[in-house]
Amino acid sequence: MNVCVLVLGDAGRSPRMQYHCISLANELCVKSVTLVGVAGQRCVEDLESHPKVQKNLIAEDMTKGLSRKLFLIYAPVKIITQSFKLFFILMTIPNLDLILIQNPPCIPTFAVAGVVKLLRGTKIMIDWHNLGFTILAYSAGSVIVYVAKMYEVYLAYVFSDEHICVTKAMREWLLENVGMSSVTVQYDKPPVMFHRRTIEEQHQLFENISQPLMGRNVFTCERKGSCQSLADRPFILVSSTSWTPDEDFGVLLAALEVLDTDNILPRRILCIVTGQGPQKEMYLAKIQKMNMKQIDVRTMWLEAEDYPKLLGSADLVSGLCF
């Protein structure tokens, strides 16, 4: 089989789809895997170095960074340009047997993949992470959301051959509301790179990231040739977020605020938040006003190889970090 894994977003910030690529490429029945996405962050090393995986990435469009208030103006232009780019890429992948699509976004991926299926006989599998029309509801009116829902549900029903999703709740919704005959739940499972890190690995990581994070390494030290944890090191809480309205990061902040006022903490807590998204600046302003005494909240973006190291060095992990 020749497989295309399609995610219309920053490929380097789509870990589940990257792991799909690696898993598929490790199967004997798969000849090649092409990751199609938007150029951005570097992918994990296992994908970058795999002999059966190649990337075909689209350059970031000029609309990135524009105000979401202008969404209805630039969205049609963005959709049209992306459609032509995707169609050309999918039509030129040799002997393409299967397209695995991340949803959302479904615009224009469902439509383009559907045309390619009609022309080439390619099978389509959809990996449902969320629902595109529900996210659109935060930036568009009810009529547009209704049209988007009809588009998403109808094309998924007509063109797709197989469906996987991340939760049982999503599976039940798809069966009841879209009329699909079969949906398989495939839970996120961390690959081998996600494991508890040794004190030596932690020290190397903290030496690299502590300067922009805390100004210095307040977690570990090296004495007489051996690495040690500092006795007064803060507890490390790591949370990932996409900073989007459908993912209420305020829940975690409210919990931290309660914890800070209880005066029960034996040591300070450092909450490291990773991710990029439209509501990041809003939440950063809110964090500054909280003025917590025992808890520090810091944000940072990690390289693909450092992210599993940080999770493996944390005392507590919150959110969908895998």
DSSP string, 62-113: TTTTS-GGGHHHHHHHHHHHHHHHHHHHHHHSTT--EEEEEES--TTHHHHH
DSSP strands (E only) in 13-117: 32-38, 53-58, 98-103
Length of the chain: 322
Domains identified in the chain and CATH numbers: 2-185 (3.40.50.2000), 199-318 (no CATH)
pLDDT band at 321 (very low <50, low <70, confident <90, very high): very low
Res 263 pLDDT > 50:
yes
Among 40, 221, 19, residue whose Cα is nearest residue 100: 19
Strand pairing of 316-318 and 235-240?
parallel
Distance CA 68, CA 24 (A): 36
Q: Picking from 72-81, 168-177, 276-285, which range would have the lowest pLDDT averaged per residue?
A: 72-81
Q: How confident is the model at residue 92 (pLDDT cuts 50, 70, 90)?
A: very high
Identify which has the larger pLDDT, 72 or 110.
110
Query: Would you state the pLDDT for residue 63?
Result: 56
Q: What is the pTM of this model?
A: 0.77
Average pLDDT, the chain: 86
Max intra-chain CA distance, the chain: 68
Residue 211 in tokens: 């300067």
- In 3D space, the residue among 220, 169, 218, 173 whose CA is nearest the CA of residue 198 turns out to be 220
pLDDT band at 322 (very low <50, low <70, confident <90, very high): very low
The reply to whether omega before 108 is within 30° of 0 (cis) is yes
Alpha-carbon distance of 152 to 103, in angstroms, equals 9
* Residue 52 identity (one-letter amino acid): K
Mean pLDDT of 148-161: 88
Residue-wise pLDDT for 102-154, tens only, equals: 998 888 999 999 999 999 999 999 999 888 777 776 666 688 888 888 888 88
pLDDT of 72 above 80: no
Name which of 5-14, 162-171, 261-270 the model is least confident about: 261-270
Check residue 68 and give its pLDDT: 57
The stretch 153-182 carries a mean pLDDT of 88
Helix (H, G, I), strand (E, B) or coil at 112: helix
pLDDT the model gives residue 143 = 83
- pLDDT value of position 272: 93
Q: Using 50, 70 and 90 to split pLDDT, how confident is the model at 90?
A: very high
* Amino acid 307: pLDDT: 86
CA nearest to 178, candidates 248, 106, 240, 266: 106
Mean pLDDT of the 165-185 span: 87
Lowest-confidence range among 24-33, 80-89, 245-254? 245-254
Mean pLDDT comparison of 49-53, 61-65, 250-254, 312-316, highest-scoring range: 49-53
Buried b / exposed e along 197-222 (16+ C-beta atoms within 10 A)? beeeebbbbbbebeeebbeebbbbee
Degrees to nearest 5, angle at CA 178 with 24 and 127: 20
pLDDT value, residue 18: 92
Mean pLDDT across 161-190: 87
